[in-house]
Homo-oligomer: A and B are copies of this chain.
Amino acid sequence: MSEAAVAEYQLSTEPKLKAFVAAVLERCGVAPEQAAVVADVLVAADLRGIESHGVARLESYYVGRIRSGHLRPKPEYRIVRETATTVLYDADNGLGHPVAKMTMEKVIEKARAHGSAFGAVRNSNHFGIAGYYAMMALPHDMIGMASTNSVKYGTATFGRDVLLGTNPLAFAIPAGNEPDFVLDFATTTVPKGKLEVYKRKGKPLLDGWAIDEQGYMTQDPDAALRGALLPLGGFGTDGGGHKGYGLGLLVDILCGVLSGGAYGPDLPVVTDVREGAISHWFGAFRIDGFRDVAAFKADMDRELRSFKDSLKAPGQDRIWVAGEPEFEKTAHHRATGVPVHAKVWEGLQKLGGELGIAFDLAR
């Protein structure tokens, strides 16, 4: 991290951050075991270097909505439908993380018994990073999948309406000695936060990121923030934008339509607090339904290494595989401290003061 960057950040530790997040949520009426799950998911994001989905959201999203009465701190998570290998939960407009974890646990339990399983959740809220739930399959020697729809920022190929969330898809596949393969990506080219970073820095956006309100591609962050994000693959179809649009719509269907939750036209934009409008989707299957796990993992190591050891493009000294940057950041942050942006740090301090929780986050 550069010196300038260091000055912007404070360092905390994983246990301190988790304890603080859990205490805040408990003070807001969330049951201790559920508060602990939210803390685990949020701090996992900070550990993995995905700040936008970490403790930065504690006040702005979760606590803010509980305080304003738009999110139920004590929901009744309930199973709506269940078969041997499928399960659907209704989250009762509660926090997304506990019900997502609960659903993925059920999916894993069913996959252990029968080989494969899927789950979905409706009437939920933002659940943090999708990768967290896909990764729950790893210690069970399963391949895990997770997804969620989201507040809308994105548009369709050839369109200009704001219709799609950043709609991430995550897949987790265990390796042996190599870091596990964890692919967790937004189906828009960039997240909305990237437009805000470029606005702050006064930098022009790159082509393929966003359109203005009229539907023209724009390099102006302000115009883009009033417009819409473009799907992975960019504007039109030349760069495959229709594929990213298709993936975004796939996620909205798997999450929103399949669960009987909100989808497409009924999803909120960011300025519109709509209760329980988010839905999730999960899947898992056993590797030993196909091969012995040890042989599979040995081949995974060889596969991942063959990419990492392949010839580099000019000016590049490293080829990564999905999940590896986050794996290394987690180890680094555990060893040297978890960075929290100075503004977020101040916000947490203020929140602690308001709720009467001792603020002792410094490493």
Residues of A in contact with B (beta carbons under 8 Å apart)? 81, 83-88, 114-118, 120, 143, 155-161, 163, 171, 173, 181, 183, 185, 189-190, 206-208, 211, 214-216, 232-234, 238-240, 242-244, 246-247, 249-250, 252-254, 256-260, 263-265, 283, 285-287, 289-291, 295-296, 299-300, 302-303, 306-307, 310-314, 316, 318-322
CA distance A265 to B239 in the complex (A): 27
Q: A257-B299, A264-B303, A303-B253 are in contact. Are A320 and B240 (CB under 8 A)?
A: no
CA distance A181 to B247 in the complex (A): 11
Are B156 and A115 in contact, with the CB atoms below 8 A?
A: no
Are B253 and A300 in contact, with the CB atoms below 8 A?
A: yes
Are A189 and B86 in contact, with the CB atoms below 8 A?
A: no
Q: Which residues of B contact A254 (CB under 8 A)?
A: 143
Are B118 and A289 in contact, with the CB atoms below 8 A?
A: yes
CA distance A247 to B186 in the complex (A): 12
CA distance A287 to B257 in the complex (A): 10
CA distance A120 to B116 in the complex (A): 13
Are A257 and B118 in contact, with the CB atoms below 8 A?
A: no
For A258, give its contact among B253, B259, B290 (CB under 8 Å): B290
Q: Which residues of B contact A116 (CB under 8 A)?
A: 85-86, 116-118, 283
Q: Which residues of B contact A314 (CB under 8 A)?
A: 214-216
- Please give 11 more A-B residue pairs, beta carbons under 8 A apart, in addition to A116-B283, A120-B290, A264-B306: A85-B114, A183-B243, A183-B250, A214-B314, A216-B313, A233-B233, A233-B240, A252-B303, A264-B302, A265-B303, A265-B306
